[in-house]
Chains A and B, each alone.
Chain A
Amino acid sequence: MNIVEILRFAIRGLTANKLRSGLTTLGITIGVGAVIMLVAVGSGASAAVEQSIAGLGTNVLTVAPLRGPGQTTGRPLTVEDAKALVDPLGAPDVKAASPVVTTSVTAVYGPASHEIPQFAGTYPEYFETTNSPVATGTGFTDEDVRAARKVVVLGATAAESLFGTADPVGQQVLVDSIQFTVIGVLAPKGTSGLQNADDSAVAPLTAVQNSVTGYGSLSQIAVQAVSADAISAAQAEVTAILNARHRITNASQSDFRILNPSQLLAARTETTQTFTVLLAAVAAISLLVGGIGVTNIMLVTVTERIREIGIRKAIGATRAAILGQFLAEATLLSLFGGLLGVAVGVIGSQFQVAGIDPVVVPSSILLAFAVSALIGLFFGSYPASRAASLRPIQALRHE
């Protein structure tokens, strides 16, 4: 009695009742498919979050003034603070630091009017630091900053609401009644969290201070570290320099705060992982239900075929041969269901689900498939051992 014969008997047993075998297989197919698809959706969601955070620049620190209770006397951030951060000796891990003032403005072009919530005045390094490449036209230069030229680079959303499909480059827009020349449009970044990163505009710091905000304190300083790995070192250097400049001796009394995107990323990733685990748990339950379906059908099959088992025993089938046959039937059912489920899960993951592009995780395929095979063995073992332990004479007498 070898494996081939056991499999032959099992296949014959399964094909004897195709509808029932098919429906049992369906239970496992749905379970395995659900595990693969839902894990893919979960990892797709976390990939989307990671991407949107990476869009902010993974090697960027944002320094903002802290205006909490007890800190009202804190010194504002100044352009000098930003310049002091670019120091090859004191801060070797800082590549660039751009002072930023932001305000919300109303931009007007002809009859079109648009509220831009994020109108930033800054230095040219800002484009590289915040990972915002210019798609059409050009960015502004240090020369523009020195001369306080009223030029502006619009975000994709702002450009579209003002100009529609027309080319904005070279056109004049009124920003809070001050005339600016559009010299470029940023590449679209997509929404990250609450605010639309594309509904923005970037102009030289001096021009914005001149015409819109006045020469007050900075809204933030965007600091670029030399690499993503150096970001923690850069954060320490920035903290030390600013503490010294603001004469702060106790670190808990800092009048500024530093936002580190890798911390943000870690927090968000943790959230999406929880989400993925939850989805996988739901899918695992459906796989379990499918497994119970296998047990159920195998119990029915064994009961139906008690006589056949008796015949086989009477002509010399050993316990092991009967056990093997029914275990093989259960395992084939769930393995076949598992294979179909992998196909369904992988095909289903090619489509967008609830706005998320699922990312198939190879290990989830392996796991779901292995679990489906084990389900056959585990959930099939009870019915199979019941079949194998039948006394031949009892089985033969069964009507």
Chain B
Amino acid sequence: MPNPVIEVTGLHKTYGSGDTRVHALRGVDLTVQPGDYLAIMGASGSGKSTLLNLIGCLDVPTEGRYRLDGIDVAELNERQLSLLRNRKIGFIFQSYNLVPRTSALSNVELPLVYAGLGRRERRQRALAALDLVGLSDRAGHQPSQLSGGQQQRVAVARALVNAPALVLADEPTGNLDSESTAEVLAVFDRLNALGRTIVVITHEDDVARHAERVVRVSDGRIVADTAASQVWAVR
């Protein structure tokens, strides 16, 4: 049995101190196996984004243990965390977060630049990733010349160009119309079919319906963790 991609135990996260202290997470346990397609759902303020940021090593937990692909991230220094984000995690944000004034191709190449790859291999892999999201004809366009759906697909291409163990998406379709949403979700389905582990935050049932497993977060705790087939069967 291979290592779980994500193994979280007793995760706590608090912001601020004194009277303004906020408990974003109050003890979360979660295990995600390779190839899982997980949807995290919850009301805004429930702590689901905090959970995703911790899983993505963008933030450090106040308490608890987190193993990513068998590695305890608490033991890593800043540089090692950067490398981990670069090699093992692909991020997709609600607001796309492409680097402005930089072509789609260069945006997709960026993780490979930080990984230290040569120019030719970078180009090759970035073009392949753009091809996967159906945007190889827009490689030279800048983000401002692309539609929201196209920008998000460039972001998806960037997230998977490094062949990460884990793709994390924070409300990836929150800003998209239904057609673009369908395009992005289709890409996710294809990635999952290829064996990628995907964790998506969403509050849209339509998006969660694509996942194999749905986790509900409320008030900093996981309140439900069920296979998708069961969730949708009940309704």
Contact = CB atoms under 8 A, between A and B. Distances in A.
Interface residues on B, range: 20 to 34
A391 B205 CA distance: 32
A233 interface: no
Interface string B97-131: 11111100000001101111000000000000000
A393 interface: yes
Given A391-B59, A393-B59, A396-B97, A315 B110 contact: yes
B102 A319 contact: no
Nearest to B115: A316
B53 A311 contact: no
A227 interface: no
B83 A311 contact: no
A319 B113 CA distance: 14
B22 to A, nearest CB: 14
Nearest to A13: B101
Contacts of A393: 53, 58-59
Given A392-B58, A393-B58, A315 B102 contact: no
**Which of B58, B79, B91, B110 is packed against the most chain A CB atoms within 10 Å?**
B58
A52 to B, nearest CB: 60
Contacts of A150: none
A366 interface: no
A308 B97 CA distance: 8
Interface in A132-164: none
A258 B87 CA distance: 85
A318 B114 contact: yes
Most buried by A among B78, B87, B111, B113: B113
Contacts of A310: 97
A313 B97 CA distance: 12
A311 B114 contact: no
A321 interface: yes
Contact of B97 (A16, A311, A317, A318): A311
B85 interface: yes
A12 interface: yes
Contacts of B113: 1, 5
A259 interface: no
B82 A313 contact: yes
Contacts of B110: 312, 315
Contact of A16 (B78, B101, B116): B101
Q: Which of A308, A311, A321 has the most CB of B within 10 A?
A: A311
A314 B114 contact: no
A367 interface: no
Contacts of A396: 58, 93, 97
Contact of A315 (B78, B100, B114, B116): B114
A310 B102 CA distance: 16
Contact of A12 (B93, B102, B114): B102
Contacts of B153: none
A396 B86 CA distance: 16
A213 B115 CA distance: 96
A2 interface: yes
Interface in A344-398: 391-393, 396
B220 interface: no
Given A2-B116, A396-B97, A319 B82 contact: yes
A203 B59 CA distance: 97
24 contacts: A1-B114, A1-B116, A308-B99, A310-B97, A311-B97, A312-B110, A314-B85, A314-B97, A315-B85, A315-B91, A315-B114, A316-B87, A316-B111, A317-B82, A318-B78, A318-B79, A318-B114, A319-B79, A320-B79, A321-B114, A391-B58, A391-B59, A392-B59, A392-B85
